[in-house]
A and B are shown apart, each in its own frame.
Chain A
Amino acid sequence: MLSLIVFLPILAGLVILAVPSSQKQIIRMVSLLAAIAQGVLAVLIWQGYDASLPGITAAAGGAPEGSFQFIERLPWINLDLGTMGSLNIEYFLGVDGLSITMVILTALISIIGVLSSWPIQKQVKGYFILFNLLSTAMMGCFVALDFFLFYVFWELMLLPMYFLIGIWGGPNREYAAIKFFLYTLFGSVFMLLVMIGLYFSVTDPVTGNHTFSLVAMASQENYIKDAILGPDNVMWRYAAFIVLFIGFAIKVPMFPFHTWLPDAHVEAPTPISVILAGVLLKLGTYGMMRINFPLFPEVFQASLYVIAVLGAINIIYGAFCALAQQDLKKMVAYSSISHMGYVLLGLAAANTEGMVGALYQMFNHGTITAMLFLLVGVIYDRAHTRQIDKFGGLASYMPVYAAVVTIAWFASLGLPGLSGFISEAFVFVGAFSSETTRNVAIVSVLGIVFGAAYLLWSLQRMFLGKRKPDAAYDLEVGADGHEHIHFHDWKGKLDLDARELVMLVPLAVIVIFLGIYPMPVLGMLTSSINKLVEVLSPVVMTALN
């Protein structure tokens, strides 16, 4: 089941390889079918998922897979290394509350991504092959439970992303693409070293061999005491935690490693922005929750304050930057940085409320930001500009668009009744109830104010009032005596067309529904988060020593 959901897009990619490049519609349909099938599988997995099982790690003496579900575990590479024991790499997939949330999000965003790729005309075949490769890599990252496998998927994302930004992007795409590539690779090469170090430090409780299994790595009793990343080697454990954290933080992206993100977003085509903000950024915080924190819990406990402060900087700095942007897409990109800061703050709270809020915020940010970028794409398609001050009074001419924008904008600023509110509220409840992060949380609340400021201000400038003299569209009086606007070379429907509605309405429904009744998602992830908090808690660690 999980293998299928991971590799379906690659299969679609192979099919597309055989289709002649002139058959654009077939290529699009194949990709869409694969994405929908992925979505169906995600729903099936969700239906079959038992939310009472926590996952995260395995109990001592219990099954080596712990309470993960939909497990697929096969030996992949077994090598005898002589004196060094043996090299064991497994094809090990499984989901728990952390990953299933992200699997559903990924499947959803993939469908949206394919739909929003419909208008792409340039090298359609190459585009969808790369898109499907990216889709496989993302899904693989979320379900891999073997560090080696995770790393392979993690790195596999880079090349398609590079080309997708680099070939189909905006004017400054070369710079943005290589910047994204270099930043992410810089983060992940350290991960490679830590991965090797962990391999030599951890043994499988059943076989006694070294292992890459993340489940085994998440239990501190599986570490060899004097190994390089064993409990005795405090210095190297700190170093490993820090470099892993930087590796994941680049992906989040966390200040001061965030500068690639605005560039990448501004240059990337709309569907790639949607994927990037909707799924890729979550890989950073997912990696922290799956790998970085549970493998080095004592270092995590020691760095709570630092992580919280970094989160707060993200929230406030991102909001300030967003406030200053003239380019709507850049504003949304900075708002992503700001909102991912809430995730970091929630993680730093290290209690159930905070962590639930963080994971829920990851999901909500995925859906909300996808909407934001789609909406930016809608107006860019029509006006060929994203300058906020080139618009004005749009609400009266494009009422449906304005309505959807309002939902998305308000969800993003955390209006009660919309999903973003619940997750941010949880984050703050968690952060306030933790002694360490309380002060930081107080400061971070300012972020909500600034967030409201840039969102409402842009809404006002674009949609309210009257057409500005230098606006990107002309005003015409139609035959019926009403005023209409006219974009220079836009032939399609003025307001949202059917394809755009198909993408936006479900997302809006999800955002509203999960704002009113969040339990479908919260219920799925709570037991895993409880377990994660337990694994990370100082009590368990002192018991071990």
Chain B
Amino acid sequence: MFELPSGAEIQSIIATLKTGVGFFIPEIYLSVLFMLLIVIDLMVKGRKNNLLSAVTALGLAGAFYFIYQQHLLEAGEIFFGMYVLDEFALFFKYFFVLSGILAVLVSVADDQLNRQVRSIGEYYALIVAMVIGMIMMASSADLLMMFLSMELVGLTAYVLTGYLKNDPRSAEGALKYLVYGAVSSGLMVYGFSLIYGLTAETNIMKISAELALHGYDPLVMMLASLLILAGFGYKIGAVPFHFWSPDVYEGAPTPVTAYLSVGSKAAGFAVLMRFFYVAIPHGGEPFQDIAGMDWLSLLIVISIASMIYGNVVALWQKNVKRLLAYSSIAHAGYALLGIIAMDELGTQATLFYLLGYLLMNIGAFYVVILISNRTGSENLEDYRGLGRKMPLAGAALTVFLISLVGLPPTIGFIGKLMIFSALLAKGSVFIWLALIGVLTSVISLYYYMLIPLNMYLRESQQPDEGKEATGMVHQIGIAVLMILTIYFGLFFKPLLDFAKISSSMLGMTIY
């Protein structure tokens, strides 16, 4: 029989919520921004793409202030353990707001998106909604909350992918994304329910305590880990949960592709790390596994498969967006290596890798957008001779690609260096993983270099139509990203320090 809570209980619930709200200010701020954008879209007449993008960018930049204020608060749980605030969550708050701002910047650059007959409408509001969703993914400490926030990100992403209404590829991508998303969410919820069955808890810290106290059936745990990984793996775009990504990346408006490739992927990493680091500890008594297999072995398999599959299949791509889609599968594999190391250095490496990937991948897509504005195409063949027509964009794209390969002096090199250091710091156990990592990097060089090859080594077949040059804002934009990619490849200490501070998670049991 359900009993109504007494007055005192209600009072205490309200008090808890009130304290919780104090820890929730950036999210509230962003929600207000989201609604404001919808209101502006409804109230202002005419084309308002520039107004909306400016409000979004400034609004997102304002969020940095509120996130910065949260450093003063102590790490803790709020809303009855649904949500946490810790250094790890703060890192991703900065990360997602930054990725949102960069997404706005590349959206402004994209002619295809802005040429639509109707105004851009709720596009920017959806970008903000996705920032909120991703922040909540990184901060959720409860299975229900994780699921809800992942769905929030998923739903906004489906809409954004299909935003080019007149382009059948966009619609196809959105539908594929939705179908695969629904399946993987279903599997993940099944996994969650198995965990709930084992522990009767949904809070990940309580799950951890419960598992430690009572033990568990390793077979069920293995099954649950696998099912949950289907959900997380879908978000990070790792093999074998990657099938959506080439079509979605190709079909979506390029700014959305850029945004998904860094934002949604990083959010997947955040929730994956928090879930496995906190809820299901690894190895040793009292945690048993099946014949030496546990979720870590699953991650190793996924990581290897992603590095090999992504890099090898990319070799045959003719479309740059598809090529970058396969490359992003491979990069998910590299970033997973840091998690596999299962220590502070590894976490730090993965966080740093994601930061580097944010810079270089957004940068690469930025140039792809500027090129497609000029040529109307994303095919490799149409990149011929562009290096001389667009000198800055060509140079910048080359730097971003070199960084994606992992060559110095770029941030991508430091990312790989940290990842491999984390593996080798474990002694000789993971050397073979590092070997696969470096060998697949060599493979990746070939397809990344196809782009500069076409831009610089081959001459264009068609005469240049002499379209207007890229705007000054975007010239500066790519120049800044290029300089940062090199600067942080040489002076990476601040970012690594930041990643190190951020590698502490509430209720973490591994280190």
Which residues in A have some Cβ–Cβ distance to B below 8 Å?
77-84, 87, 123, 151-152, 155-156, 158-159, 162-163, 166-167, 173-174, 177-178, 181-182, 185-186, 189-190, 192-193, 196-197, 199-200, 228, 233, 236
Bound complex: CA of A467 vs CA of B428, how far in Å?
66
Bound complex: CA of A174 vs CA of B442, how far in Å?
17
What residues of chain B lie closer than 8 Å to A80, measured between beta carbons?
A: 497, 500
Bound complex: CA of A181 vs CA of B449, how far in Å?
10
B434 at the A interface (CB under 8 A): yes
- Decide: B424 and A197 in contact? CB cutoff 8 A: yes
- Decide: B438 and A193 in contact? CB cutoff 8 A: yes
- Decide: B408 and A151 in contact? CB cutoff 8 A: yes
Bound complex: CA of A77 vs CA of B493, how far in Å?
6
- Decide: A79 and B496 in contact? CB cutoff 8 A: yes
What residues of chain B lie closer than 8 Å to A78, measured between beta carbons?
A: 493
Across the interface, A199 reaches (CB within 8 A) one of B409, B421, B491, namely B421
Bound complex: CA of A160 vs CA of B345, how far in Å?
33
Shortest CB-to-CB span from A398 to chain B, Å, is 34
Give residues 428-456 of B contacting A (CB, 8 Å): 428, 431, 434-435, 438-439, 441-442, 445-446, 449, 452-453, 456
What residues of chain B lie closer than 8 Å to A192, measured between beta carbons?
A: 416-417, 420, 438
- Decide: A178 and B453 in contact? CB cutoff 8 A: yes
What residues of chain A lie closer than 8 Å to B511, measured between beta carbons?
A: 83
- Decide: B345 and A82 in contact? CB cutoff 8 A: yes
Bound complex: CA of A163 vs CA of B449, how far in Å?
11
> Which residue of the partner chain B has the closest CB to A173?
B457
Shortest CB-to-CB span from B414 to chain A, Å, is 9
Bound complex: CA of A420 vs CA of B348, how far in Å?
53
Across the interface, A178 reaches (CB within 8 A) one of B398, B413, B449, namely B449
If A83-B343, A159-B407, A166-B453 touch, does A193 touch B428 (CB 8 Å cutoff)? no
Bound complex: CA of A413 vs CA of B400, how far in Å?
46
Shortest CB-to-CB span from A309 to chain B, Å, is 27
Bound complex: CA of A192 vs CA of B418, how far in Å?
11
- Decide: B497 and A79 in contact? CB cutoff 8 A: yes
- Decide: B445 and A185 in contact? CB cutoff 8 A: yes
- Decide: A189 and B424 in contact? CB cutoff 8 A: no
- Decide: A193 and B491 in contact? CB cutoff 8 A: no
Top 6 closest pairs, chain A to chain B, by CB: A189-B438, A152-B408, A166-B457, A196-B424, A155-B408, A186-B442
B155 at the A interface (CB under 8 A): no
- Decide: A182 and B445 in contact? CB cutoff 8 A: yes
Give residues 398-417 of B contacting A (CB, 8 Å): 398, 402, 405, 407-409, 413, 416-417
Bound complex: CA of A421 vs CA of B431, how far in Å?
45
- Decide: B409 and A156 in contact? CB cutoff 8 A: yes
Across the interface, A196 reaches (CB within 8 A) one of B405, B420, B496, namely B420
- Decide: B493 and A79 in contact? CB cutoff 8 A: yes
- Decide: A152 and B409 in contact? CB cutoff 8 A: yes
If A77-B492, A77-B493 touch, does A167 touch B421 (CB 8 Å cutoff)? no
Shortest CB-to-CB span from B76 to chain A, Å, is 23
- Decide: B427 and A196 in contact? CB cutoff 8 A: no
Across the interface, B456 reaches (CB within 8 A) one of A152, A167, A197, namely A167
Bound complex: CA of A158 vs CA of B442, how far in Å?
13
B388 at the A interface (CB under 8 A): yes
Across the interface, B434 reaches (CB within 8 A) one of A158, A193, A199, namely A193
What residues of chain B lie closer than 8 Å to A199, measured between beta carbons?
A: 421
What residues of chain B lie closer than 8 Å to A174, measured between beta carbons?
A: 453, 457-458
Across the interface, B439 reaches (CB within 8 A) one of A152, A166, A189, namely A189
Shortest CB-to-CB span from A84 to chain B, Å, is 5
- Decide: B445 and A167 in contact? CB cutoff 8 A: no
Bound complex: CA of A80 vs CA of B434, how far in Å?
23
- Decide: A185 and B442 in contact? CB cutoff 8 A: yes
- Decide: B431 and A155 in contact? CB cutoff 8 A: no
Shortest CB-to-CB span from A14 to chain B, Å, is 13
> Which residue of the partner chain A has the closest CB to B440?
A189
Across the interface, B500 reaches (CB within 8 A) one of A81, A162, A167, A177, namely A81
- Decide: A181 and B408 in contact? CB cutoff 8 A: no
Bound complex: CA of A173 vs CA of B457, how far in Å?
8
Bound complex: CA of A189 vs CA of B453, how far in Å?
22
Bound complex: CA of A410 vs CA of B33, how far in Å?
79
Bound complex: CA of A163 vs CA of B399, how far in Å?
13
- Decide: A189 and B442 in contact? CB cutoff 8 A: yes
Across the interface, B449 reaches (CB within 8 A) one of A79, A81, A162, A190, namely A162
16 example contacts (A-B, Cβ-Cβ < 8 A) are as follows A87-B421, A152-B408, A155-B407, A155-B408, A159-B402, A163-B452, A167-B457, A174-B453, A182-B442, A185-B442, A189-B441, A192-B438, A200-B421, A200-B425, A228-B424, A228-B427
> Which residue of the partner chain A has the closest CB to B450?
A178
Most-contacted residue by chain A among B413, B421, B427 (CB, 10 A): B421
What residues of chain A lie closer than 8 Å to B442, measured between beta carbons?
A: 182, 185-186, 189
Bound complex: CA of A192 vs CA of B446, how far in Å?
19
Shortest CB-to-CB span from A125 to chain B, Å, is 10
What residues of chain B lie closer than 8 Å to A79, measured between beta carbons?
A: 493, 496-497, 500
Bound complex: CA of A166 vs CA of B459, how far in Å?
12
B110 at the A interface (CB under 8 A): no
What residues of chain A lie closer than 8 Å to B428, measured between beta carbons?
A: 228, 233, 236
> Which residue of the partner chain A has the closest CB to B441?
A189
Shortest CB-to-CB span from A81 to chain B, Å, is 6
B344 at the A interface (CB under 8 A): yes
Shortest CB-to-CB span from B126 to chain A, Å, is 39
> Which residue of the partner chain B has the closest CB to A158?
B407
Give residues 488-511 of B contacting A (CB, 8 Å): 491-493, 496-497, 500, 511
Shortest CB-to-CB span from B508 to chain A, Å, is 14
Bound complex: CA of A87 vs CA of B348, how far in Å?
13
- Decide: A181 and B424 in contact? CB cutoff 8 A: no
Shortest CB-to-CB span from A466 to chain B, Å, is 42
Shortest CB-to-CB span from A158 to chain B, Å, is 7
Bound complex: CA of A370 vs CA of B456, how far in Å?
28
Across the interface, B438 reaches (CB within 8 A) one of A152, A162, A190, namely A190
Bound complex: CA of A174 vs CA of B458, how far in Å?
9
Bound complex: CA of A177 vs CA of B434, how far in Å?
27
Shortest CB-to-CB span from B511 to chain A, Å, is 8
Across the interface, B425 reaches (CB within 8 A) one of A84, A182, A186, namely A84
Bound complex: CA of A340 vs CA of B345, how far in Å?
42
What residues of chain B lie closer than 8 Å to A189, measured between beta carbons?
A: 438-439, 441-442
Bound complex: CA of A163 vs CA of B497, how far in Å?
35
Shortest CB-to-CB span from B353 to chain A, Å, is 15
What residues of chain A lie closer than 8 Å to B457, measured between beta carbons?
A: 166-167, 173-174, 177
Across the interface, A156 reaches (CB within 8 A) one of B343, B408, B421, B458, namely B408
Bound complex: CA of A372 vs CA of B345, how far in Å?
51
- Decide: B435 and A193 in contact? CB cutoff 8 A: yes
What residues of chain A lie closer than 8 Å to B398, measured between beta carbons?
A: 159
- Decide: A83 and B408 in contact? CB cutoff 8 A: no
What residues of chain A lie closer than 8 Å to B456, measured between beta carbons?
A: 163, 166-167
Shortest CB-to-CB span from B435 to chain A, Å, is 7
Shortest CB-to-CB span from A72 to chain B, Å, is 16
Shortest CB-to-CB span from B290 to chain A, Å, is 30
If A156-B408, A167-B456 touch, does A178 touch B446 (CB 8 Å cutoff)? yes
Bound complex: CA of A79 vs CA of B414, how far in Å?
13
Bound complex: CA of A166 vs CA of B449, how far in Å?
11
What residues of chain A lie closer than 8 Å to B452, measured between beta carbons?
A: 163
Bound complex: CA of A178 vs CA of B442, how far in Å?
11
What residues of chain B lie closer than 8 Å to A166, measured between beta carbons?
A: 453, 456-457
What residues of chain B lie closer than 8 Å to A193, measured between beta carbons?
A: 420, 424, 431, 434-435, 438
Other contacts beyond A83-B345, A185-B442, A192-B438: 13, CB < 8 A: A79-B493, A79-B496, A79-B497, A82-B345, A83-B344, A83-B511, A159-B407, A185-B407, A185-B445, A189-B442, A192-B416, A193-B435, A228-B427
Shortest CB-to-CB span from A528 to chain B, Å, is 28
What residues of chain B lie closer than 8 Å to A197, measured between beta carbons?
A: 424
What residues of chain A lie closer than 8 Å to B427, measured between beta carbons?
A: 228
Bound complex: CA of A236 vs CA of B431, how far in Å?
10
Shortest CB-to-CB span from B311 to chain A, Å, is 13
What residues of chain A lie closer than 8 Å to B420, measured between beta carbons?
A: 192-193, 196
What residues of chain A lie closer than 8 Å to B438, measured between beta carbons?
A: 189-190, 192-193
